Amino acid sequence: MLIIRKLKDAPDIYGKPLRGELHGYWELKFENKFRILYTIDFQENIVTVEAIKHKDEF
């Protein structure tokens, strides 16, 4: 469960902030096949996973 630990411990270090119309969302890749799309509430220290999709779906 390394991916969950990365999201829990340091989502802004392991993830990549997205730009354009996805501004405000972050992306974390895993297994070179999938991407997790999430938001970070820095004030409340909450990560919300919005989607998990195969890289071809993005």
pLDDT at residue 2, as a whole number: 84
Q: Which two tokens stand for residue 28?
A: 């974390």
What stretches of the chain show up as alpha helix (H) in DSSP?
2-9, 11-14
Query: Rounded CA gap, 53 and 10, in Å?
Result: 21
Question: Tens of pLDDT along 17-47?
Answer: 999 999 999 999 999 899 999 999 999 999 9
Kindly report the pTM of this predicted structure. Answer: 0.89
Which fold does the domain 2-57 belong to in CATH? YaeB-like fold (3.30.2310)
pLDDT at residue 1, as a whole number: 73
pLDDT score of 3 more than 90: no
Kindly list the domain boundaries of the chain, sorted by start residue: 2-57
Confidence of residue 53 (pLDDT cuts 50, 70, 90): very high
pLDDT at residue 50, as a whole number: 97
